Amino acid sequence: MARPVTARGAAFAALLVALSFGCAVAPEPQHVSEWRRISPAAEVGRVVLQPKYRVVHLRARSLGATLSGSLFLPDGVGPFPAVLWVHGSGPRERLAYGALHVEDLVRRGIAVYSYDKRGVGESDGACCPVHFDLLARDVLANVEALRALSAVDPDRIGLLGVSQAGWVVPIAASLDARLAFAIVLSGPAVTVGEESLFSSLTRDWRCGDGGVPVAAADELVREVGPSGFDPRPYLERMQQPSLWVYGLADIHQPSERSVAVLEELRASGRDVEVRTYPAANHFLATGGPCGDLPVVDWLPGALDWLEARLPTAQPARVSAR
């Protein structure tokens, strides 16, 4: 996942992400001329009213960088539970309206926050560090900004991420026990070395052209063993309930091996749930390693899982109007 790709490959990958995960390319961020400080490291800016929700612009300071993002709030009375989107690898801007199934989430009364990754869009700093602790600290800086808003329930904020988030989310969750939940899509629960070897064998950057089959790659990775950054110690320290969603036809990371790691955690008594789709790829779609139709409809079940695990709401403090 960390290897460079050609411009054509990058464009194709972006198209697949837009089609399957719903991560549409964000428009140019609106300029916000006035900001109000809500904590020592966070500011709130323009509020845009929409028929069913409002959009709140936020900025948060994190280790020498200012991170900018947008919060989609449901209509009605809060405080609302919130999902913070954790990006995959590479330069990623905040999600546009309609991306990440925002409507589906706000319809359930769940706020959605996404920010421009460090060094991208309106966030400054250097893009894009393959430094999982730094990325996790960026996540937590944004969590603290959300907690400073009266419209958000500070004890019902959780993480929803994709791909590289499999390494970032466990770090963030292990550092902040107050986080309420974690949902990860196609995220490796194995070491960086195992993922790198697997994706090299399958030739994920060429959509599997000339690569070995998934089962054979799994076996070779098992023989070589783990190396590099290992998320397992952080996974073991996580106290939050977590849901992991995988396509077993994924050629970008070894789903079967990631599932095995998580099943060990579940067997030890942790609230870990794994859901797999045999024909789905890394983008939770079918039609081959880089196919884009039909997209696996993972969200309704994930929302049911989430609602069953959210802590009891605090008394209402604010209306979205």
Average pLDDT of the segment spanning 127-154 = 95
Task: Work out how many domains the chain is built from and give that number.
Answer: 1
**Structure confidence at residue 30 as a pLDDT band (50, 70, 90):** low
Residue 124 lies in a domain: yes
CA 88 vs. chain centroid, Å, equals 7
Residue 314 lies in a domain: no
Q: Which pTM does this prediction carry? A: 0.88
Average pLDDT of the segment spanning 9-22 = 41
Alpha-carbon dihedral sign for residues 301, 302, 305, 310: negative
Average pLDDT of the segment spanning 222-240 = 97
pLDDT of residue 97: 53
Tell me which of 77 and 45 has the higher pLDDT.
45
**Structure confidence at residue 320 as a pLDDT band (50, 70, 90):** very low
Q: How many residues does the chain have?
A: 321
pLDDT of residue 128: 84
Angle between helices 192-202 and 214-224 (to 10 degrees): 140
Residue 137 lies in a domain: yes
Q: Tell me the pLDDT tens digit for each residue of 49-101.
A: 887 789 999 999 999 999 999 999 998 888 999 999 999 999 999 985 555 68
Q: Tell me the pLDDT tens digit for each residue of 187-196.
A: 999 999 999 9
Residue 4 lies in a domain: no
pLDDT of residue 100: 62
Residue 317 lies in a domain: no
* DSSP SS3 for 262: helix
* DSSP SS3 for 274: strand
143, pLDDT greater than 70: yes
Residue 273 lies in a domain: yes
* Full residue range of the structural domain in which residue 42 is found: 13-24+33-309
Q: Tell me the pLDDT tens digit for each residue of 274-292.
A: 999 999 999 999 999 999 9
3-state helix, strand and coil shares in percent for the chain, rounded to the nearest 5: 35, 25, 45
Q: Count of CB atoms within 10 A of residue 282's CB?
A: 28
Average pLDDT of the segment spanning 102-130 = 92
34, pLDDT greater than 50: yes
Residue percentage of the chain with pLDDT more than 90 = 75
The domain spanning residue 99 has which CATH number?
A: 3.40.50.1820
